[in-house]
Amino acid sequence: MSSIIRRLVKEVNKKEYDSSVEEDIPIEHLELAEIARKRVLIKSTLKSHIIIYLLTNTLLILINLNIFEDPIPIDEIIDFWAAWPILIWGIGLIAHATIIITINITNYDKRVFVITTVMNIAIGGLLVYINYLTNYLIDININWWIYVFTFLGFFIIVHAWLIFRDSDKTKLEKKIRKEFEKLKELEEKKTLEEEKAKKEILESNYSINNKD
Protein backbone atom coordinates (compact mmCIF):
# COMPACT_ATOMS: atom_id res chain seq x y z
CA MET A 1 0.00 0.00 0.00
CA SER A 2 2.81 2.42 0.91
CA SER A 3 4.49 1.87 -2.48
CA ILE A 4 1.20 2.62 -4.25
CA ILE A 5 0.79 5.82 -2.21
CA ARG A 6 4.35 6.94 -2.98
CA ARG A 7 3.83 6.25 -6.68
CA LEU A 8 0.56 8.18 -6.71
CA VAL A 9 2.17 11.14 -4.93
CA LYS A 10 5.03 11.15 -7.47
CA GLU A 11 2.56 11.15 -10.36
CA VAL A 12 0.59 14.04 -8.90
CA ASN A 13 3.79 15.96 -8.15
CA LYS A 14 5.02 15.36 -11.70
CA LYS A 15 1.91 17.06 -13.06
CA GLU A 16 2.19 19.94 -10.60
CA TYR A 17 5.88 20.63 -11.32
CA ASP A 18 7.00 22.14 -14.58
CA SER A 19 10.74 22.84 -14.77
CA SER A 20 10.23 25.22 -17.71
CA VAL A 21 8.57 27.67 -15.32
CA GLU A 22 11.90 28.37 -13.59
CA GLU A 23 13.50 29.32 -16.91
CA ASP A 24 11.29 32.43 -17.10
CA ILE A 25 12.04 33.53 -13.52
CA PRO A 26 14.78 36.13 -12.90
CA ILE A 27 17.76 34.80 -10.96
CA GLU A 28 17.09 37.10 -7.98
CA HIS A 29 13.68 35.44 -7.53
CA LEU A 30 14.85 31.82 -7.75
CA GLU A 31 14.73 31.41 -3.97
CA LEU A 32 11.08 32.47 -3.92
CA ALA A 33 10.42 30.17 -6.87
CA GLU A 34 11.88 27.24 -4.91
CA ILE A 35 9.66 28.03 -1.92
CA ALA A 36 6.64 28.25 -4.26
CA ARG A 37 7.57 24.90 -5.84
CA LYS A 38 7.81 23.21 -2.42
CA ARG A 39 4.42 24.63 -1.43
CA VAL A 40 2.83 23.31 -4.62
CA LEU A 41 4.31 19.85 -3.96
CA ILE A 42 3.07 19.92 -0.36
CA LYS A 43 -0.44 20.82 -1.57
CA SER A 44 -0.32 18.01 -4.14
CA THR A 45 0.25 15.49 -1.32
CA LEU A 46 -3.12 16.58 0.08
CA LYS A 47 -4.76 15.81 -3.28
CA SER A 48 -3.18 12.36 -3.23
CA HIS A 49 -4.34 11.85 0.36
CA ILE A 50 -7.94 12.78 -0.54
CA ILE A 51 -7.97 10.46 -3.60
CA ILE A 52 -6.59 7.52 -1.60
CA TYR A 53 -9.02 8.22 1.26
CA LEU A 54 -12.04 8.22 -1.05
CA LEU A 55 -10.99 5.14 -3.03
CA THR A 56 -10.03 3.07 0.02
CA ASN A 57 -13.09 3.90 2.08
CA THR A 58 -15.43 3.37 -0.86
CA LEU A 59 -13.96 -0.12 -1.19
CA LEU A 60 -14.38 -0.73 2.57
CA ILE A 61 -18.05 0.35 2.40
CA LEU A 62 -18.66 -2.04 -0.50
CA ILE A 63 -16.99 -4.86 1.46
CA ASN A 64 -19.05 -3.98 4.56
CA LEU A 65 -22.22 -4.11 2.47
CA ASN A 66 -21.06 -7.50 1.16
CA ILE A 67 -21.66 -6.13 -2.32
CA PHE A 68 -19.33 -8.67 -3.97
CA GLU A 69 -21.28 -11.69 -2.67
CA ASP A 70 -24.78 -11.23 -1.29
CA PRO A 71 -25.55 -7.50 -0.99
CA ILE A 72 -27.02 -6.40 2.34
CA PRO A 73 -29.49 -3.46 2.43
CA ILE A 74 -27.86 -0.62 4.35
CA ASP A 75 -30.79 -0.35 6.77
CA GLU A 76 -30.25 -4.02 7.78
CA ILE A 77 -26.56 -3.70 8.62
CA ILE A 78 -25.94 -4.40 12.30
CA ASP A 79 -22.18 -3.81 12.36
CA PHE A 80 -21.16 -0.94 10.10
CA TRP A 81 -17.44 -1.28 10.87
CA ALA A 82 -16.48 0.80 7.79
CA ALA A 83 -17.47 3.89 9.79
CA TRP A 84 -14.40 3.52 12.02
CA PRO A 85 -11.70 3.92 9.34
CA ILE A 86 -13.82 6.62 7.67
CA LEU A 87 -14.02 8.67 10.88
CA ILE A 88 -10.57 8.02 12.36
CA TRP A 89 -8.74 8.37 9.04
CA GLY A 90 -10.99 11.36 8.31
CA ILE A 91 -9.58 13.13 11.38
CA GLY A 92 -6.08 12.58 9.99
CA LEU A 93 -7.18 13.94 6.61
CA ILE A 94 -8.74 17.01 8.25
CA ALA A 95 -5.50 17.60 10.17
CA HIS A 96 -3.49 17.31 6.95
CA ALA A 97 -5.82 19.71 5.11
CA THR A 98 -5.85 22.24 7.96
CA ILE A 99 -2.05 22.32 8.20
CA ILE A 100 -1.77 23.03 4.47
CA ILE A 101 -4.66 25.52 4.31
CA THR A 102 -3.16 27.55 7.18
CA ILE A 103 0.32 27.58 5.62
CA ASN A 104 -0.01 31.29 4.77
CA ILE A 105 -0.77 32.30 8.38
CA THR A 106 2.55 33.81 9.45
CA ASN A 107 1.62 34.18 13.12
CA TYR A 108 2.58 30.83 14.69
CA ASP A 109 0.21 31.12 17.68
CA LYS A 110 -2.79 31.94 15.47
CA ARG A 111 -1.98 29.05 13.14
CA VAL A 112 -1.78 26.65 16.08
CA PHE A 113 -5.12 27.99 17.35
CA VAL A 114 -6.85 27.35 14.01
CA ILE A 115 -5.39 23.82 13.74
CA THR A 116 -6.23 22.82 17.32
CA THR A 117 -9.76 24.25 17.04
CA VAL A 118 -10.49 22.29 13.86
CA MET A 119 -9.01 19.13 15.40
CA ASN A 120 -11.07 19.54 18.58
CA ILE A 121 -14.26 19.85 16.53
CA ALA A 122 -13.31 16.80 14.41
CA ILE A 123 -12.56 14.69 17.49
CA GLY A 124 -15.80 15.93 19.03
CA GLY A 125 -17.66 14.64 15.96
CA LEU A 126 -16.08 11.21 16.46
CA LEU A 127 -17.19 11.23 20.12
CA VAL A 128 -20.76 12.06 19.04
CA TYR A 129 -20.75 8.96 16.84
CA ILE A 130 -19.35 6.83 19.68
CA ASN A 131 -22.06 8.19 21.99
CA TYR A 132 -24.75 7.37 19.41
CA LEU A 133 -23.32 3.89 18.87
CA THR A 134 -23.14 3.02 22.58
CA ASN A 135 -26.71 4.28 23.11
CA TYR A 136 -27.88 2.13 20.19
CA LEU A 137 -26.04 -1.02 21.25
CA ILE A 138 -26.83 -0.83 24.97
CA ASP A 139 -30.30 0.65 24.38
CA ILE A 140 -29.85 3.69 26.62
CA ASN A 141 -30.26 7.42 26.09
CA ILE A 142 -27.32 9.19 27.73
CA ASN A 143 -25.99 12.12 25.71
CA TRP A 144 -22.60 12.54 27.39
CA TRP A 145 -21.21 14.13 24.21
CA ILE A 146 -22.85 17.41 25.34
CA TYR A 147 -20.45 17.61 28.30
CA VAL A 148 -17.50 16.89 26.02
CA PHE A 149 -18.47 19.68 23.61
CA THR A 150 -19.06 22.05 26.56
CA PHE A 151 -15.53 21.39 27.78
CA LEU A 152 -14.08 21.73 24.26
CA GLY A 153 -16.02 24.96 23.72
CA PHE A 154 -14.68 26.38 26.98
CA PHE A 155 -11.14 25.38 25.99
CA ILE A 156 -11.50 27.00 22.54
CA ILE A 157 -12.86 30.25 24.04
CA VAL A 158 -10.02 30.47 26.59
CA HIS A 159 -7.44 29.66 23.89
CA ALA A 160 -8.92 32.33 21.58
CA TRP A 161 -8.86 34.91 24.37
CA LEU A 162 -5.20 34.18 25.10
CA ILE A 163 -4.27 34.46 21.40
CA PHE A 164 -6.33 37.45 20.26
CA ARG A 165 -6.49 39.59 23.42
CA ASP A 166 -4.55 42.83 23.60
CA SER A 167 -1.72 42.17 26.03
CA ASP A 168 -0.01 44.96 27.96
CA LYS A 169 2.87 44.70 25.53
CA THR A 170 0.52 45.10 22.56
CA LYS A 171 -1.17 48.11 24.17
CA LEU A 172 2.22 49.70 24.84
CA GLU A 173 3.27 49.08 21.23
CA LYS A 174 0.08 50.76 20.00
CA LYS A 175 0.73 53.82 22.19
CA ILE A 176 4.34 54.02 21.00
CA ARG A 177 3.18 53.75 17.38
CA LYS A 178 0.60 56.50 17.92
CA GLU A 179 3.18 58.78 19.54
CA PHE A 180 5.64 58.02 16.76
CA GLU A 181 3.06 59.05 14.13
CA LYS A 182 2.54 62.36 15.96
CA LEU A 183 6.29 63.05 16.11
CA LYS A 184 6.65 62.08 12.46
CA GLU A 185 3.86 64.47 11.48
CA LEU A 186 5.48 67.30 13.49
CA GLU A 187 8.88 66.58 11.91
CA GLU A 188 7.40 66.66 8.41
CA LYS A 189 5.60 69.93 9.22
CA LYS A 190 8.84 71.44 10.56
CA THR A 191 10.74 70.34 7.43
CA LEU A 192 8.11 71.94 5.18
CA GLU A 193 8.27 75.19 7.14
CA GLU A 194 12.08 75.25 6.89
CA GLU A 195 11.94 74.61 3.15
CA LYS A 196 9.33 77.35 2.78
CA ALA A 197 11.52 79.78 4.76
CA LYS A 198 14.57 78.95 2.63
CA LYS A 199 12.55 79.46 -0.52
CA GLU A 200 11.32 82.86 0.71
CA ILE A 201 14.92 83.92 1.53
CA LEU A 202 16.13 82.84 -1.92
CA GLU A 203 13.27 84.71 -3.60
CA SER A 204 13.98 87.86 -1.58
CA ASN A 205 17.71 87.71 -2.41
CA TYR A 206 16.86 87.22 -6.06
CA SER A 207 14.58 90.25 -6.09
CA ILE A 208 17.25 92.43 -4.36
CA ASN A 209 19.86 91.37 -6.89
CA ASN A 210 17.53 92.21 -9.77
CA LYS A 211 16.94 95.71 -8.35
CA ASP A 212 20.71 96.31 -8.18
Q: Which of 94, 96, 101, 100 is nearest to 118 (CA)?
A: 94
**Could you say which of 126, 144, 165 is where a domain stops?**
165
187 three-class SS: helix
Distance CA 22, CA 192 (A): 48
Answer yes or no: do 152 and 72 share one domain: no
Rounded to the nearest 5 degrees, what angle is found at the Cα of 120, between the Cα atoms of 98 and 122? Answer: 70
pLDDT tens-digit series, residues 1-34: 445 545 555 555 555 444 444 455 555 555 666 6
The total number of structural domains in the chain stands at 3
Average pLDDT for 119-146: 85
Answer yes or no: do 35 and 117 share one domain: no
Answer yes or no: do 77 and 13 share one domain: yes
Answer yes or no: do 74 and 155 share one domain: no
Answer yes or no: do 69 and 120 share one domain: no
Boundaries of domain holding 124? 108-165
Answer yes or no: do 63 and 134 share one domain: no
**149-175 per-residue burial string, b: 16 or more CB within 10 A, e: under 16:** eeebeeeeeebeeeeeeeeeeeeeeee
**Could you say which of 78, 104, 130 is where a domain stops?**
104
Answer yes or no: do 19 and 97 share one domain: yes
pLDDT of residue 141: 83
pLDDT tens-digit series, residues 55-75: 999 999 888 887 767 666 655
C-alpha 182, offset from chain centre: 37
Please give the DSSP secondary-structure letter assigned to residue 78: S
Answer yes or no: do 4 and 75 share one domain: yes
Whether the CB-CB separation of 15 and 45 falls below 8 Å is answered with no
Answer yes or no: do 22 and 96 share one domain: yes
Answer yes or no: do 98 and 19 share one domain: yes
Whether the CB-CB separation of 115 and 98 falls below 8 Å is answered with yes
Answer yes or no: do 23 and 117 share one domain: no
Average pLDDT for 152-170: 79
pLDDT of residue 91: 92
Average pLDDT for 88-117: 88
| Whether the predicted pLDDT of 107 surpasses 50 | yes
| Whether the predicted pLDDT of 187 surpasses 60 | yes
In this prediction the pTM is 0.59
